[in-house]
Amino acid sequence: MMSKDFRLELTQRPRRLRRTASLRGMVEETVLRPEDFIAPLFVVDGKAPPDEIKSMPGVFRLNLTDLVRECRALRKAGVPAVALFPKLEPRLKDEEGTEALNEDALVLRAVRAVKKAIPELTILTDVALDPYTTHGHDGVLTAGGDDVDNDRTVGILSQMAVLQARAGVDLVAPSDMMDGRVGAIRRALDAAGYSGTGIMAYSAKFNSGYYGPFRDAVGSAQAAGTRLLSKATYQLNPANRREAISEALLDEAEGADIVMVKPAGMYLDIIRDIREATRKPVAAYQISGEYAQIHAAARLGWLDLARCRHESLLAIKRAGADMILTYFAREMAEALR
Ligand code: PBG
């Protein structure tokens, strides 16, 4: 029979340090700051008002004027950096992604506008062809059309990176997962006189189902009439851990300044592995599907948005990320103030 005054004789009672808010604060191991976040932003041409992405509540495609306004608000909230993603009109897309090398391309005009208005804000741009190709792949296709032509793609990406550096980008972010692209981009940047422009490599980018809302946002889901888009020949298999570490080490050897893991929340083990394998800063990208899931459940009344937002980001930082790309950047930064 268990008596009412049953007592354990414990030396260690871990709950002692959870007794008051002040004690809990003293032993808190991971703390989120506005400086931890990078805000991905979608930009469109023209003068249309902000256009909300259906599967990403609170995320809008912005024209250049609204983009600059949003960047000012982010800066004011203490967010140090933005990652710009263009959404092109379909008429500008082709098989080869030609528009990516237009010196007056939308994303380059966006970079110049933001740099001019808020010079101290760090700007990242994606180096990949998916917003520019009719088929939505990150590169140009082989003659047979059933694969991406790795080396020809890398040649184009290197030129793209130079255009971005010339427009004033601080960090180019190759997100295509082609072999050898970090080294080629580094050489191209240096040869063009941009040795100060950094590379944040999407090193461990997995072939994820959770990119769905992003592909809606930039219109890269799949071209009308073609077979379902699979990026499995270049993005990592979600089953693979050693391969992810090896990709990060390769990118470091090729000249990456920062290595990234993407998605973030389902890949915390990979973030930790890469944190331990390299001394470079590690970034993690909490992607569109992670954001959409939290919002969808909150809308149904099944999860508390503010708590789960905070917890999801805290977990990514605890796993070892030095910086986090997240669509929650502004609201988190504002909530932390
Ligand atoms: C493609 C790219 C993708 C994202 C960033 N750059 C998606 C893809 O590979 O199709 C995803 C970001 C997100 O889902 O939030 N170069």
Nearest to 258 by CA among 188, 187, 197, 329: 197
Question: What tens digit of pLDDT does each residue of 182-225 get?
Answer: 999 999 999 999 999 999 999 999 999 999 999 888 877 765 44
* Rounded distance from Cα 209 to ligand 1 centre (Å): 11
Question: What tens digit of pLDDT does each residue of 280-328 get?
Answer: 999 999 999 999 999 999 999 999 999 999 999 999 999 999 999 999 9
Give the mean pLDDT of the chain.
95
Q: What token pair was written down for 211?
A: 């990119």
Q: Is 215 in the pocket of ligand 1 (CB under 6 A)?
A: yes
Task: Outline where DSSP puts E strands in 218-330.
Answer: 258-262, 282-286, 323-326
Question: What tens digit of pLDDT does each residue of 113-138 get?
Answer: 999 999 999 999 999 999 999 999 99
CB 159 within 8 A of CB 101: yes
CB 244 within 8 A of CB 204: yes
DSSP state of 94: B
Binned at pLDDT 50, 70 and 90, residue 331 comes out as: very high
Instruction: Quote the pLDDT of residue 314.
Output: 98
Residue of the nearest CA to atom 5 in ligand 1?
175
Q: State the average pLDDT over residues 12-36.
A: 98
* Rounded distance from Cα 202 to ligand 1 centre (Å): 10
Nearest to 41 by CA among 78, 79, 76: 79
* Of 205, 231, 280, 317, catalytic: 205
> Does residue 62 have a pLDDT over 70?
yes
Choose one of 41, 53, 156, 211 to mutate for the ligand 1 pocket test, by most ligand atoms within 8 angstroms of C-beta.
211
Q: State the average pLDDT over residues 271-286.
A: 98
Nearest to 81 by CA among 37, 41, 51, 125: 37
> Does residue 150 have a pLDDT over 80?
yes
Question: Counting atoms of ligand 1 from 1, which one is nearest the CA of 211?
Answer: 14
* Rounded distance from Cα 99 to ligand 1 centre (Å): 18
Distance in angstroms (rounded) separating the CA atoms of residues 203 and 201: 5
Phi, psi of 268 (to 5 degrees): -65, -30
Q: What token pair was written down for 224?
A: 């009308």
Beta bridge partners of 172: 125, 199
Instruction: Quote the pLDDT of residue 54.
Output: 93
Distance set, CA 95 to CA 132, 140, 288, 327 (Å)? 8, 7, 25, 30
Q: State the average pLDDT over residues 222-229.
A: 53
Instruction: Quote the pLDDT of residue 73.
Output: 98
* Of 93, 262, 280, 317, catalytic: 262
Instruction: Quote the pLDDT of residue 147.
Output: 87
* Rounded distance from Cα 296 to ligand 1 centre (Å): 20
Residues 6+ apart with CB under 8 A from 9: none
Instruction: Quote the pLDDT of residue 88.
Output: 95
* Rounded distance from Cα 284 to ligand 1 centre (Å): 13
Quote the pTM value: 0.95
205 part of the active site: yes
Distance in angstroms (rounded) separating the CA atoms of residues 332 and 337: 9
Question: Counting atoms of ligand 1 from 1, which one is nearest the CA of 286?
Answer: 15
181-191 and 150-167 helices, crossing angle to 10°: 40
Choose one of 287, 295, 316 to mutate for the ligand 1 pocket test, by most ligand atoms within 8 angstroms of C-beta.
287
Q: State the average pLDDT over residues 167-188.
A: 98
Task: For 31-336, give the CATH class.
Answer: alpha beta
Q: Is 290 in the pocket of ligand 1 (CB under 6 A)?
A: no
Residues 6+ apart with CB under 8 A from 247: 203, 204, 236
Binned at pLDDT 50, 70 and 90, residue 18 comes out as: very high
Q: State the average pLDDT over residues 28-37.
A: 98
Nearest to 36 by CA among 324, 332, 309, 267: 324
Residue of higher predicted confidence among 224 and 5: 5
Dihedral class, residue 174 (left if φ above 0, else alpha if ψ from -120 to 50, else beta): beta
> Does residue 3 have a pLDDT over 90?
no
Half-sphere exposure of 336 (CA within 13 A, CB side): 23
DSSP H or E run through 97: none
pLDDT-above-90 percentage for the chain:
92
Question: Counting atoms of ligand 1 from 1, which one is nearest the CA of 212?
Answer: 14
